[in-house]
Structure 1
Amino acid sequence: MTPYRLALYWAPEQDDALHVQGSTWLGRDAATGEAMAQPAVDGVDLAQLTADPRGYGLHATLKPPFRLAHGYAAAREAAAALAASTAPFELPPLSVHDLDGFLALREDAPCPALHAFADACVTRLDDHRTPADAAEIARRRPERLTEAQREHLARWGYPYVFGEWRFHVTLTRRLTAGEKAIVMPAVTAYLGDVPGVPRRVSAISLFVQPSPGAPFTIAERLPLRG
């Protein structure tokens, strides 16, 4: 059965401590689909603060979720061809950042290869994307976007691509100042040194959503072989 939506993400390998600890923080393992007991954070409801990212799983977006125009097998073949032509590369150390009110892991140094990889995921798979309909466009609140972001939304179905793209592994919803004061030190301490250890970008992770509103799971990791 063709899933409702497909997304191309970077995700830490299943045996990486970042996958284990990050998934535990969110409360769900996208590799297995299993719920996980979250750490206790005094003063906030962590389950509520992580509800949105929990549904998507621990990841950084390369090509955002899209409805399939030609079925899963065809899109998977295109992603495999991209992976076969892309060489693995080093990922800079990560750390917890405030990203417009959301807490996320971001890279601590520029990485041109990472941006080129995301750009290629957007363009090389776009023939397999069903164009966004009016409701999907409206949900992006185009009136609040910059001109460049609106152009990307119209052309690529997502405003934050190419020069607007920022690598990030989302850890919370948008927080109030009071919530941030509690949660930022808590998640930084909980993850410890794990985000900053050396790791390589060595695969494209295909995340699928089987039906509208369902959580995303990892269908396959395609090794980079270029």
Structure 2
Amino acid sequence: MRYAICFTPPPGDPLTLAAAGWLGRNVYSGHAVDHPGLKGIGVHEIAFHTALPRRFGFHATFKAPFRLNEGANEAMLLRELMHFAGSLEPVTLSGLSVGRVGEVYGLILERPCSAIDHLAAAVVQAFDGYRAPLSEAEIERRNPERLSAPQFSNLNRWGHPYVMDEFRFHMTLTGPLLARDFPRIEQGLKAHFDPVLAEPVVVANLALFVETERGAPFTVHSLHPLGRVSSRKIA
């Protein structure tokens, strides 16, 4: 069993439903979802390009997948996550849009957001005590020889290269693509996602994701609202 602490919108959110259609799987139920009919992209091609992110589901990673340390259990993790989420306030993401990071497309921020960077770093730090040390095989899967010095340091200290100053908020929507396919896939993604990104996206919860066994699809175990209960009731 592995856990991850992420952001994903609530089950009925239009963005959640759009992402479930694009990826072909609902991250809450785990059920398959039909891909959309988009001009210039066949459903079989969408299925091919979304095979990698489909297993992980629609999310932005804060605390990358980890096994529980000795002495920790799921009940402890849930209790800590509930209290932690209640101590922080929601973050509004302005300018979330379809974009490319290297060979992969996803939803990215058009400009830096210090509040989301702070939230991600706080999650990494607060829950590192629950994380079992990486095995040699897990370290090798990260291709350490390709990492920069700060990324390698993060891998050894926090169990993941892309945290702290190396963190960039993103919600992955494709696997690696060929350059010749960039314009066509980007056009399809924007046609599908732009309507549900017209309004700012609010990070109003932390989601605990679970992988029941190595290689199994990740699903949402539970949502933990950000902000004090009294403040949420007033809002």
The TM-score, its normalising length taken from structure 1, stands at 0.94
Aligned residue in 1 for 2:115? 113
Aligned residues: 223
Counterparts of 1:17-36 in structure 2, within 5 Å, are 17-36=14-33
Task: Tell me, in whole angstroms, the C-alpha distance in 2 between the residues paired with 1:55 and 1:115.
Answer: 25
**Quick one: which of 205, 209, 212 aligns to 2:211?**
209
1:180 partnered with 2:182: yes
5+ unaligned residues in a row in structure 1: which ranges?
Answer: none
Task: Tell me, in whole angstroms, the C-alpha distance in 1 between the residues paired with 2:6 and 2:197.
Answer: 17
How far 1:182 moved relative to its partner?
1.9
Which has the higher mean CA deviation after the structures are superposed, 109-118 or 194-203?
194-203
Aligned residue in 2 for 1:138? 140
How far 1:44 moved relative to its partner?
6.7
Task: Tell me, in whole angstroms, the C-alpha distance in 1 between the residues paired with 2:194 and 2:116.
Answer: 24
The amino acid that maps onto 1:64 is A
Aligned residue in 1 for 2:48? 48
Aligned residue in 1 for 2:2? 5
Aligned residue in 2 for 1:220? 222
Task: Tell me, in whole angstroms, the C-alpha distance in 2 between the residues paired with 1:172 and 1:84.
Answer: 33
Asked if the contact 2:98–2:193 (Cα under 8 Å) also holds between the matched residues in 1, the reply is: no
Task: Tell me, in whole angstroms, the C-alpha distance in 2 between the residues paired with 1:42 and 1:210.
Answer: 32
Q: Alignment partner of 2:4: what SS?
A: strand
Aligned residue in 1 for 2:231? none
Task: Tell me, in whole angstroms, the C-alpha distance in 2 between the residues paired with 1:137 and 1:87.
Answer: 34
Which has the higher mean CA deviation after the structures are superposed, 147-156 or 107-116?
107-116
Q: Alignment partner of 2:138: what SS?
A: helix
Percent identical pairs in the alignment equals: 38
Aligned residue in 2 for 1:64? 64
Task: Tell me, in whole angstroms, the C-alpha distance in 1 between the residues paired with 2:107 and 2:96.
Answer: 6
How far 1:9 moved relative to its partner?
0.6
Task: Tell me, in whole angstroms, the C-alpha distance in 2 between the residues paired with 1:222 and 1:43.
Answer: 34
Q: Alignment partner of 2:213: what SS?
A: coil
Counterparts of 1:51-130 in structure 2, within 5 Å, are 51-69=51-69, 70-130=72-132
How far 1:196 moved relative to its partner?
3.5
The TM-score, its normalising length taken from structure 2, stands at 0.91
The amino acid that maps onto 1:87 is E
Task: Tell me, in whole angstroms, the C-alpha distance in 2 between the residues paired with 1:42 and 1:103.
Answer: 17
Q: Write out the 4+ residue segments of structure 1 that deviate beyond 3 Å after TM superposition.
A: none
How far 1:43 moved relative to its partner?
9.3
